[in-house]
A and B are shown apart, each in its own frame.
Chain A
Amino acid sequence: MNHEPIGSLFVDEVKAIPGGEFVEMCYSCGTCVSKCMIQQKGEPEFNPRRLLRMVMMEMKDESFDSKTTWLCSACDLCYPACPQKIHISGVIHAVKSLAVKNDKKTIQNTAVVDQQTCVACGLCVEACPYEAIKIIETKVPYRGIINVASVDSGLCMACGTCSAVCRSTSIGVPEEFTDESVVEGLWTWLQSQGVED
């Protein structure tokens, strides 16, 4: 009764990463999905339960391409609700780190630094909830080798907190709105309400 091990399975790879240990405990009750705001706020393909299922069913490429892998912001609303006590965002993070290892890129617009204006004050580093920003010595055209902020696109979740704290407006997430358009919109509305001065 001596069988050779059947090589490495995807699910074992996920389980080897801290956070992904309990992926196989999922019995597909769907609590996490109905707790999750991403699906309810307009991303119908987002489904953590299905991602866990994909991992269990060895669907490696599909899980790397799944929106769930990239859009989960680790808010952990699902974690306290899970009856099997699975740290779901931990599992998703494990899949994501495997995907990054396999040269996959995130499908979100991540934060970008304007290296010409960045003064490396470090406010964004403190504000970032994902610890995705670091101050790194970089060679910048016209400015020489200086310290500027640098974003790890694998960790950034595009919340924009960095752009709100930046005093030199040199970091931000490319979004459908800009600071200018928000202010302009506010102004137009106030004008329409009849402000004389």
Chain B
Amino acid sequence: METRPKIALFQCKWCLYSQPDQNWVDNDLPSSMYLVKLPCTGRINPLYILNAAQGGADGIVISGCLPEKCHYKEGNLSALRQHEEFLNFLDYIGYERSRVRFVWLDLQDRGRIQKELADFEAEIAKLGKAKVLATRTNVSPGGQYA
């Protein structure tokens, strides 16, 4: 039986504006997808992405507000800057860049997240399973707010 690619979805809690779409993401996401809801895409620690990659996720979607419409002024730009850098590193250790996708969503994009996810799933299916990276250590990241 062919298994569906595993996709981790990081979502900023202010984007995906329209209510039905939000309900769908909150409740009806297929089991091959996993939702992490954060206050802002800027809150996504590269650690999360690394862990998802190490854990064997086949694709990662980051969905946030449009560049000028960030709820925290420019948190999403900070995220973009940081993750573009981080993706170079992932690419280097063998996790292809094309497995990570940024989706900027607007209030007017009713029903777009479903399409984006389906499209991304098809693309990942074409790429096949992700290379198994060294699995993570069970050491806690440390620090008070880790």
Which of A's residues lie within 8 Å of B, judged by CB?
A: 37, 40-41, 73-77, 112, 114, 117, 127, 129-130, 157-161, 163-165, 168-175, 178-180, 182-183, 185-187, 189-191, 193-195, 197
Contact = CB atoms under 8 A, between A and B. Distances in A.
Question: What is the size category of the interface that chain B forms with chain A?
Answer: 35 or more
Interface string B28-55: 0001101010111011111110011001
Interface of B: 3, 6, 8, 13-14, 17, 19, 31-32, 34, 36, 38-40, 42-48, 51-52, 55-57, 69-75, 78-79, 82, 132, 135-136, 140-146
B75 A171 contact: no
A172 B48 CA distance: 15
B119 to A, nearest CB: 21
B75 A161 contact: yes
Nearest to A192: B31
14 contacts: A37-B17, A75-B69, A75-B70, A159-B71, A159-B72, A160-B42, A161-B72, A161-B79, A164-B42, A164-B45, A164-B46, A178-B145, A183-B48, A193-B3
A39 to B, nearest CB: 12
4 A-B pairs with least C-beta separation: A172-B145, A169-B143, A161-B42, A160-B43
Contact of B146 (A73, A178, A189): A178
Nearest to B135: A197
B145 A170 contact: yes
Contacts of A174: 145
Contacts of B140: 180
Nearest to A117: B143
A171 B57 contact: no
Given A112-B145, A193-B3, 10 more contacts: A160-B43, A161-B72, A161-B79, A164-B82, A169-B143, A170-B143, A179-B48, A186-B36, A186-B55, A193-B32
Contacts, number: 136
Given A41-B13, A127-B42, A159-B75, A186 B146 contact: no
Contact of B55 (A117, A159, A175, A187): A187
Contact of B45 (A41, A112, A163): A163
Nearest to B72: A159
A178 B144 CA distance: 10
B72 A183 contact: no
Contacts of B71: 37, 73, 75, 159
A165 to B, nearest CB: 6
Contacts of B6: 190, 193
Contacts of B73: 73-76, 129-130
A179 to B, nearest CB: 5
Q: Counting chain A CB atoms within 10 Å of each CB, which of B42, B140, B141 scores highest?
A: B42
